[in-house]
Amino acid sequence: MLMFFCALKRRGALDEQEVEAMRARIVESVLIRDHLTHCEVYRPTPEALVVGLSNEPRGALLIADKVVWPCGMFWAADSLSSIDPGLRFADQISRLSGRFSAVMVKGNAFAIGTPATRVDSVFHAENDSFVFFGNQASVLSVLRDGQVRYVPRNLVSFISAGYFGNDETPYDGVTSLPPLTTIYYDGADLHRASVDLAELKADGRSHEDVLEACSDALAAAVHPLVGLPEPVQLGLTGGKDSRLLLAALLHAGARATCVTNSKGEANASDVWVARRLAELVGVEHTVHDISNTNVAAPSGETIDLMARAASTLHNTDGMMGALTPLRGDPSVYRPQLSLWGHGGECLRGGWTENLPRPSAENIEKIFRRNFEGYPVFVDAAQDSQHAFAESWTATQLARCGPADVLDIAYLYFRIGRWVGAGSRGSSSKVLPLLDNRVSREVHSMDAGKKRSHYLHRELIARLLPAVRDLPLASKFWHGTPQEERARLRASYPDAYTEEKKPAAKKASKPFFARMQHLFGRRPVAGLVPPVVSHIRDYLVREGRIDLLADVLDADRTVRFLRSPDPALQPMRFFLGAYSAAVLLSEDWQSGRTPSRPISVGKPRTASRQQQTSAPPAQKTPRPA
């Protein structure tokens, strides 16, 4: 685990007191102090300071006359040997395997680069005396102002979506660098350059050439997993993304075991296809039965929403609220690597996948629905978010069509801000489908081709031909003719059991009913009233809503919270407003987790039923 921070004084040299003060502020951050114990300081010039931190004795990579800090998951140091600081630094690191941003120091120069995904974000801040860059936004706030300063009006998208739908952060004057952005200091002057994501789609290569490049990139992304002491554990479903990952792992020669969660009849076809897939390729497959739902609540059980919100804010540096469940503790080492199909939606065109004809109107609707969807915001704050969306959209539409703009938007916001925040706070750091090189090549494919599932189908066929004809669970590849659909239903009836269920199954449900998994995998009877009451009390009765006066209209928000049937209101807003209030209360920054248990029942602990199928004696041959 590596992090870096850079400071450049505008006028004159940094004196030793300034250097020590900055170093102390960085290492005393709660998020850093607890996990990153090794600190290195470099002075490229008297005006410049580069600080690298690591949880390993060997922190920075020393490559000839260069010093490099890759922040994220980085595999091979020798791949950096041909790269030098310069205005194309971000473009160069985006062509390397791994999932990382980086800073490189050579002589009196340094360069910072973000990849196409910006999953491993780099932030920027400045004041009258200094310009700052680094991986942790709250630290830049302290370096800039001497203490953490919040800007509540920046929280419109945070409250609406649970993450940021722009380049802002909760901190005054601290912003996230865009994808493929280079910051280059040549020893005298600071330069900034960006490669627009739209440029990747205009590189002139054929679909076949891009497909070949994607296949090579994905193979390189999983190659370091070959030869691990423990097999990779893959969360396998009957869908496209985990199948592609399994194909890539087996093609590379990595050992894998698979796990599928069973919800009874709700995903019977998913389990059947996953089990059949594991049998075909000869890997161990375990089914976890989690179908025991809506269990009555035993008395005396509690959940702690405040601790959940504070922990998520702590682990994501204030970039994500309690809406999104994180996977594990990022500081805990686990010998067995776990993967799932995170990032696969980028291969399917992101927000364009289910749109018949993507248009400019679709773009506006998606921005409004995700990032400013509730009638409770102060006009000035909502106008600011809307103005950003309009400006960003107009700039992108001037370069490419609506489908490609939506594809870019998904990578820019949903991946760059949501997955970026979640990856920081998760113990799962290896995301092959969001690898730097994979993401660059995938994004070079036009959105229309990705929406047709061309990439998934062709990559699976190349990497693991043995499973190319196995159907998806209750779905079909785009463009499958009706006659072929009928044949598949007849040949694989167990793969289409959910398809036979009435359409009412897909009817809109209250957000609370759909998001019960936030408090465990099984829905909890009687959960809604005490949770809503807790949120109301915290925001209204205790006056925490006053902290949000610059972003939420108090009267409209109170009416919204006091809806006659709160279960019909969107949980996304309830948890967004609650998380924003916890964020601004600063309790999460103290190094201790605030706790306020809510008396509510949870399911009685039931032993998980596991069905493990050993690999068959004769395995299907894999491609070389």
- Please name which of 523, 67, 64, 598 lies closest in space to residue 296, comparing C-alpha atoms: 523
What are the structural domains of the chain?
2-195 (3.60.20.10)
Sheet order of strands, 609-613 included:
338-339, 232-235, 256-262, 284-289, 609-613
Cα 111 from Cα 6, distance rounded (Å): 10
Cα 235 from Cα 243, distance rounded (Å): 10
What does the CA dihedral 226, 242, 238, 260 come to, rounded to 10 degrees? 70
What amino acid occupies position 416? G
Looking at the DSSP bridge assignments, the partners of residue 576 are none
3-state secondary structure 572-613: HHHHHHHHHHHHHHCHHHHCCCCCCCEECCCCCCCCCEEEEE
Cα 207 versus chain centre, distance: 27
What integer pLDDT is reported at residue 170 of this predicted model?
96
Q: How many CB atoms lie within 10 A of CB 371?
A: 23
What integer pLDDT is reported at residue 326 of this predicted model?
55
Whether the Cβ atoms of residue 467 and residue 446 lie closer than 8 Å to each other = no
What integer pLDDT is reported at residue 514 of this predicted model?
44
What integer pLDDT is reported at residue 468 of this predicted model?
87
What integer pLDDT is reported at residue 227 of this predicted model?
87
What integer pLDDT is reported at residue 406 of this predicted model?
94
What integer pLDDT is reported at residue 569 of this predicted model?
61
- Please name which of 195, 144, 265 lies closest in space to residue 136, comparing C-alpha atoms: 144
Q: What is the pTM of this model?
A: 0.89
Cα 355 from Cα 348, distance rounded (Å): 12
Orientation angle between helical segments 454-463 and 241-252, nearest 10 degrees: 30
Q: Name the residue with tokens 């919040």.
A: 150
Cα 124 from Cα 300, distance rounded (Å): 47
Q: Quick one: tokens of 506?
A: 């897909």
What integer pLDDT is reported at residue 566 of this predicted model?
55
Give me the average pLDDT of each 10-residue run along the chain (624 residues): 90 95 86 74 95 78 85 80 92 93 95 93 96 95 95 95 94 97 97 93 90 95 91 93 95 94 88 95 92 51 84 89 63 66 90 89 91 88 93 94 94 91 69 94 92 92 92 91 93 82 46 48 58 89 94 90 65 89 81 77 47 48 37
